[in-house]
Structure 1
Amino acid sequence: MEINDFFNSLLTGILTSVIFLILLYFFRPNIKISDCIAKDKEDDNIFRFKIINKSLFSIYDIRVRMFLCNEINGINGKNIKFEELELKVSNIWTIPPFNIKHIFQNEKSQKNIKGKTNYAAAFRTDYSKIENWGG
């Protein structure tokens, strides 16, 4: 009887772990970072980018860091130097879930959807504060 109890406990533990991992996979945050970095029209030193929460749930405690990467020639080849860029806002408490109505906005001629972009957050940095950034 002891061997059967051991295998039953082992099988139950493995099955519980697999179910938990599947739930974690489906409920993880789905965040999209914009492919492009936009340059401000009025000031050439200000750049902006956006992240979008495509999850079914809100995401909390968002911390964003941005780095400038420069190649530096070294004795044994090229190295990369990372310099952290200061963002105007780098911490956001929450981003609400994706608004599914926004997908069909143009098809249904809905011009005013309340809160249609509250599932996205924009960040900006100022390159004028960086010395020798090479751009």
Structure 2
Amino acid sequence: MLILNTLIWGIVSGIVSSGIIYVLVFKIKPTVEVGNKIAKSYEDGKIIYRIKIINKSRFAIFNLKYSLHYCNAQTDGIVQIREIEPFKKPLFFVSSACKKDMNDKHAVRISYLIDDGFEFCEGAYLKFTLIATHGFTNTSTYIEKKFDKDSIIEGRFETGNSLKVLEN
């Protein structure tokens, strides 16, 4: 009887621990939101494009890798791609959303300086990709957003958790 009890408890504890590991590895991922618009502004004679991301996770996100590409689809189906470098040094860390004393450091704007001759051709779009790692579970998420010409608005992002662009 003792052996049977030990065997049953071993099976139950194995199932419970497997369930906990499953939740940690596959269900808890970074919750990151990327705005649907790009804010365009003029500073010191330069045109700056900003994309806003918000970390809605209860933990910080690390190992941020992001990129912006100008993609131009040709009539023959080939897409020409040109990478646009960030205006400032890359971010590697974004605070968690649950710390109210962090002054909205969970919401960041990523800036890109795009030269004055930049024009959207027919079939062209900007593609933003983001990879982030959850601070507690070490799981990653991948986000990809496409922006067409109508997605670019002259103005600035509202502060805080808003992804709204305040037009000039």
Smaller-chain TM-score bracket = 0.5 to 0.7
* RMSD of Structure 2 on Structure 1 (CA): 3.3
> In proportion to residue count, which structure has more strand?
2
C-alpha displacement of 1:27: 2.8
- Per the alignment, residue 128 of structure 1 pairs with 115
Partner of 1:92: 91
2 CA distance for matches of 1:82 and 1:10? Answer: 54
What corresponds to 2:62 in structure 1?
60
Percent sequence identity is 23
Matches within 5 A, 1:1-135: 16-42=17-43, 45-74=47-76, 78-89=77-88, 91-99=90-98, 114-128=101-115, 134=121
Contact between 1:64 and 1:90, CA under 8 Å: does it hold in 2? no
Partner deviation per Cα, 1:34-75 (whole Å, 9 max, x = no partner): 11100104457321111110000011121211111111122x
- Structure 1, unmatched stretches of 5+, are 1-7, 102-113
Count of aligned pairs between the two proteins: 116
1:53 aligned partner, one-letter code: N
- Greater relative contact order (Cα < 8 A, sep 6+): 2
Structure 2 gaps of 5+ residues are 1-8, 122-148, 150-168
Report how far residue 24 of structure 1 moved.
2.5
Q: Aligned-pair distance for 1:127?
A: 1.6
Larger Rg: 1
* Partners of 1:40 and 1:62 in 2: CA distance: 24
- CA contact 1:65–1:90 (8 Å) conserved in 2: no
